[in-house]
Structures are given as C-alpha cells and as structure tokens.
Amino acid sequence: MLKFPKWFFDWNEENPTDLIGPGILAGTVASAVVFATIIVAYDNPNETVDVQTGPRGIGMANSKFVRDNTQFDVFEAEYPVFERVEVPEGTPTAAEAYGDSVVAFGDMDQANFDQLQKAMSAWTGTDVVLYDNGEVDAATLATAKSCVELTQYLNDDWDTHNLASDGIGVNCYTCHRGEPTPPGAWFKAGAVNSSAEGWAAIQNRLLVGNTYTQSEYSSLPVDAVEKFLLDGESIKVHDLESRVDQQPGDPTWQDAERTFTLMNHQSNALNVGCVYCHNTRAFYDPTQVTPQWSITTLAQQMAIDVNQTFFAPRSEELGREVGKMNCMTCHMGVISPLNGRNMVAEWPELAAPAQ
C-alpha cells in the first residue's frame, strides 16, 4: 500500500486549495466549447431573419425564426411538371384533329395539346378536356374555356402583379394545388337565417367548409372579402372624427371592423405583419407607407376585377356560387407563391392574350 510521507500532509494543511471553483470554471468553458461546436456544425437553431421595412427605431421590421421556414411554399415540391413533346413536321393542330369543338389552343399541335390537357388535369385534380370528346357536356367545356381565359387574363392584363414577363406568372396549379376547388377559394357568408341582419348576421361566426376562415377565428365580420374584393367597396378604417355618440350598427364602424378582417386576412395570406405595408408611426397616412403597400393595393384591385369579370358572372350562369379569389387563393401563406417558380415556362400559351 502506497503511503505518503508526513510532509505531504503537512504541506496540504498549510496550503489548502479550492477545487470547486476551478472545477466549475473548467466545466463552463468545456460546455461553451461543446455548444459552439454544435452551432458551427448544425447551424444556430434559433437564427432569425430580420427584414427592415421602414425607418429604424419604430418597430418597422419583421423577424422570423429560420427554423420555421415561414416563407417556403411546400406545394412547390409537389408541382407536377409536364414538358413539351417533340413532334414531327406536319403534325395536325388540335383544331384540325378535333374539329371546331376545341375551346382553347386550337392552333397548338395535337401532341402538345394532349400533353397540356394532362398537365391541367394534374394541376386541378380533375379531368380537363378542351374539346367535345363525346363524354363532356357544354357546361364543363364552358368552365374549361373560362379557366383558360382567366389564366391568360391574369398573366397578360395583370402582368404587373403576376410577373409572367419576368419568368413567374400563374397557371392552374397556382390556385388549385391539385384539387378541383382551390383550397384558398372563398364563398359568400350569407345570413345565419332569414331574420338575421346587421352585425348579428356577419359577426361571431366561424364558416364551416372554408379551408381558411374569412374572419381568422375572431369575432370580426365574416363578409369583409365579399364587400371589399367583390363588391369593390372603399377600404378604409382611420377616421379622425369621434364616433362616441353613434350606436353599434353605424356603417362606418362596421366597415372599420371589416377592414380589420381584411388586414388580418392579408397578413395571414402572406405570413407578414402590419409593418410589411404600413408605417407604425402613422397608419392613416398614405404618404408614409412602404413600397409593399402599393403592391398590395394593386393586388386588391386585381382581385376585384377578376371576381367581377369571371367568378360573379360564372355563378349566375351556373345558378350556383363558385369559389372566388382573394390573397390566400394564390399566396397560401407565403409572399412569393410556389417559391417564385416560373409557372408558364413550359406552356407560354397560358400567358398569351385570349383570342
């Protein structure tokens, strides 16, 4: 057995050493090294992306955790791509092959016409036929024709927003996402019952059947997109006059609450905050907004135009309401739908003016 000499114990008694302090220090340093190694190897799990939208110091910034991947459109990975096919010279056009019943793209060669029908069927989750093949009725053909015209209209007349000329644009998949009814479509709220009117008819309601609720799970009015993006009523909320003496039911109050609903809808549709468009120091002043405010205002006008030009008349023709568009219909929770993918690259005919 090893036996230490007496002087060793005497020296330790005369020179006591604090082992706890150095141990804690060594442990802290080692932990910091391990933590730093993990961050370097696997990236910072709490990293944020900060977007400055206005003057500094007044909250004009949007901050998001990178791990949440909040501006990534997951549908883009599921997008079915249909390439054009090579055809020999002399291949007949669709109109030559299928006759006068072709409702769109009659001057396209038959092979690519068939390929585009397959693409549109995959994009919409339903069989799309662009000519009378003996199995479709007139209403189905009219719907297909209307959808083609709508796509071309969005890419041509509203290119300033959809940027088809800059290699983005829209096609059937932008809204449908592989489903017959676009998951972001909306329908009129309607009254709860025949005797309901005013606030009782449109507030404190959760619309069943809408993938994205119009009131965003709040007690705000559920008819905001109908009033603003279909009827085209004025969107405004800030009034410098006092409303204290007026009773609930005042149209100005109700329109103000509808505006709050619309703003919530737009924020959720793009997954952004108020400062994406507005300046927090003066929400009411249009001279102090961000550039995104102009883009959003243009998009609102586009939605009104498309709803009034295509969807409202189509509802009357069919005798039933069809789904209409708002911001969520295309954006689906991100600023750039489908991660900015070129949706007309393979089929530029979808960006051409309707003939």
Annotated binding-site positions for heme: 161, 172, 175-176, 263, 274, 277-278, 327, 330-331
CA pair distance 117, 97, nearest whole angstrom: 15
Nearest Cα neighbor of 150 from 299, 265, 308 is 308
Nearest to 225 by CA among 165, 265, 178, 198: 265
Q: Provide the token pair at 53.
A: 């939208």
Residues of the binding site: 161, 172, 175-176, 263, 274, 277-278, 327, 330-331
SS3 324: strand
What is the rounded CA–CA span in Å between residue 188 and residue 207? 10
Angle made by CA atoms 278, 279, 280, in degrees to the nearest 5: 110
CB-based contacts of 325: which residues, under 8 Å, 6+ apart? 175, 182, 184, 185, 186, 229, 303, 306, 307, 311
The backbone region for 69, taken as left when phi is positive above 0, alpha when psi lies in -120 to 50, beta otherwise, is left
User: Which residues make beta-bridge pairs with 50?
Assistant: 63
Q: Give the burial string for 246-265 (b: 16+ CB within 10 Å, else e).
A: eeeeeeeebbbbbbbbbbbb
The type of residue at 170 is: V
Q: Which residues contact 196 (CB under 8 A, 6 or more apart)?
A: none
Buried/exposed 222-244: b ≥16 CB within 10 Å, e otherwise: bbbbbbbbbeeeebeeeeeeeee
